[in-house]
Amino acid sequence: MDHQSMKDVYYLHIKLNGTDQMLKDHAASRENFRIFVGKEVVYDPALVIVPENTLTLIDRISHRAIEPSHLEVPCRKLYRSILNFELNESDFPDFSRAIDRSVRSPDGWCHKKLIEKANRFGRPNFHATYLRITIGHRDGSAPGHAFVVEAWPPGHYSPVHSHSNAYG
């Protein structure tokens, strides 16, 4: 494959030795991986997941939607674990509004946490911050909590991770 063709690659799924735990199992050597291109991606994967009983033939052939059973194992596990997730539940119906108010108010816990984080990475930069709010308890299968809500105030970004230049 020539250099220009490699620039056109949009999706890459890697399994090493039949495991989807590659980054965890081979963390020390991940700098040494070489990627060999096999079967080409011939269409963009569907971004909408729908129940099998509502998926139409047109959905399938146009790749507009995919049923949960056709997701790769890690994606299927994630999908099942968040299937009925609601941020604003009956016991705290204004959770997302409370976060928003706390971010906007100089006296809010979230705003204070963003100020604190702004001073961690060299020169202070309030917009180079975001919040990670863990939900539930650690389940032992990840380096942190299994569920994390990331709150990205408008115009904020990560100074450490590249999130495809995504802004809140």
Q: Each residue of 54-87: pLDDT tens digit?
A: 999 999 888 899 999 988 888 898 889 888 888 8
The pLDDT tens digits for 79-99 are 898 888 888 999 999 999 999
pTM of the model: 0.56
Give the residue numbers spanning the domain of 159.
87-168
Domains held by the chain: number: 2
d(CA 133, CA 126): 18
Higher local confidence (pLDDT), 49 or 41: 49
pLDDT value at residue 103: 94
Whether 167 and 116 map to the same domain: the answer is yes
Whether 105 and 158 map to the same domain: the answer is yes
Whether 13 and 57 map to the same domain: the answer is yes
Whether 102 and 121 map to the same domain: the answer is yes
Instruction: State the CB neighbour count (10 A cutoff) for residue 74.
Output: 12
Of 66, 82, 98, which one is at a domain's C-terminal end? 82
Whether 57 and 99 map to the same domain: the answer is no
Whether 60 and 97 map to the same domain: the answer is no
Whether 52 and 91 map to the same domain: the answer is no
The pLDDT tens digits for 20-47 are 566 666 666 656 666 655 555 667 778 8
Whether 164 and 130 map to the same domain: the answer is yes
Whether 61 and 134 map to the same domain: the answer is no
In the numeric block, which tokens belong to residue 115?
């100020």
Of 51, 82, 113, which one is at a domain's C-terminal end? 82
Whether 36 and 53 map to the same domain: the answer is yes
Whether 51 and 73 map to the same domain: the answer is yes
Among candidate residues 147, 149, 145, 122, the one with its CA nearest the CA of residue 133: 149
- Residue 49 DSSP label: B
Helices (H), the chain: 3-7, 22-25, 57-62, 73-82, 95-104, 109-118
Instruction: State the CB neighbour count (10 A cutoff) for residue 145.
Output: 14
Whether 92 and 168 map to the same domain: the answer is yes
